[in-house]
Every structure is written in C-alpha cells, then in structure tokens.
Amino acid sequence: MLGAVTGLFSVLSMDIFYSDALQGTWRDAISRDLMTAFSISLSPDSPGVLLIYVLIVLLIMAFGAFSGFVFGFIIQRVFLLLE
C-alpha cells in the first residue's frame, strides 16, 4: 500500500513541479502522443486524455504496490531466517 501511495505522490509531484521545465504536463504529452501515433486530435482537457492519464497513474500505483509487496516479502524471509 505504501508503494502505491509513493507512486501516486511521485506522479503528481512530477506533474506539478516539472511542468514548466518539461514544457507541459502529462496530459499535454498524452495529447501530443495520440496525435503523433494515431492522428487523433484531442485537447489536453478532453475526457479521453484524462482517462488515459488515470490509467497510467493506476498502472504506476499498481507497480509500486507490487514492488512494496515483493520487498516486504523479502524482508519477512530475512527476519525469519534470523530466528
């Protein structure tokens, strides 16, 4: 669970703090990628871009949660070996 929260915090903080340095937000990048890859013209504020953004955030959160589970399992096994 902590890994999912860390992933969410990382995504949102990157979107907020680096949007000026990277010349746009994640939603801007998604709309440009959709235009380049599929010739679909969507504004960064459209529901389709928001849906893809939410799916990417959920994927990052799931990866963080899975990584936390694996790390916790390894730590548990190490402490069991120490008994």
Q: In this structure, what token pair is assigned to residue 57?
A: 């955030």
The pLDDT assigned to 11 comes to 85
Lowest mean per-residue pLDDT among 3-12, 20-29, 54-63:
20-29
Q: Rounded distance, CA 8 to CA 44, Å?
A: 20
In the structure, what pLDDT confidence band is assigned to residue 19 with cuts at 50, 70 and 90? Answer: confident
Q: In this structure, what token pair is assigned to residue 51?
A: 């849906």
Q: Rounded distance, CA 44 to CA 51, Å?
A: 11
Q: Rounded distance, CA 10 to CA 8, Å?
A: 5
In the structure, what pLDDT confidence band is assigned to residue 56 with cuts at 50, 70 and 90? Answer: very high
Q: Please enumerate in sequence order all residues whose Cβ is within 8 A of that of 67, keeping only pairs 6 or more positions apart, or say none.
A: 3
